Structure 1
């Protein structure tokens, strides 16, 4: 069983998303690696395959308001725990991408650049990224000026300019420095 949750820790808007997946032993998917290295079409294809072939998977989102309350690191860990708790059967060992979790009921291993080292972590990465990207595209429909459909909440020039001109949306992480600066102007 593997877990990926680094998806969405850097953006200025939107939730942090974590995914956990248990894949069958024989699972193979050519080219499956870091979700950010794949184009959108391939990620979407892999997303469907992974969901259909996984023994079990869990996806969890922690919204920007909770991120502002507890900080991004704690929100990330909460999303990771929530994704793990959705798994059935419960895992007996977990591979985690670059974060340590100390409140698990099974053994775990934190792997730096795990999505490049483990097909399970790479699969969880796809689930998390596609879920978050789809949500940001939906949010874009109500707040198109920020360019969420293309920047996914990251601090591009257009996004930062819109923050300065229009202020924050309900989806912005107000505890993040560029957003905080825009709010205080």
Structure 2
């Protein structure tokens, strides 16, 4: 972890490694020394830079949680339909971390919001919106309030779909009554009821 002087003259902590977690509020790309793209992060009441791009940060986090940016994006596309331009991403369902972009993730000024840290919005002008976040944070973004609400709603839809799909998973203590015996014969497998084996 390093301290570096910013253009404003205040020292900013730079982390070499970081994982998006339950206290991450938002993050976005910021060009630092020598034009290198870093990520500005607000976590709880702290702010700092991470020495990697926002997409690298997302991919590293997903890899640590057993997924990848490409896989999470494809999952969102399949669940929400392919007629959207920007998709939310599931970081970790068990930690309730879902993120969504303010604009195309390929754009340098894309802000990534963590769904459960967005509390409310306020219309500032036709194309300007104030977003109220947990911990008392606020951010003004160049976006119609209706567009922001749609992106937030899309992330909530993704969360609802995934949680609904995983809610009814069979528990280990719910053992089915029927038993099956699988036998290999002549190089092939055959599935039989346990009664047939007696």
For this structure pair, what is the TM-score category when the shorter chain's length is used for normalisation? under 0.3
Q: Which has the larger radius of gyration?
A: 2
Q: Which has the higher contact order (CA 8 A, sep 6+)?
A: 1
With the length of structure 1 as denominator, give the TM-score of the two structures.
0.27
Structure with more strand by fraction: 2
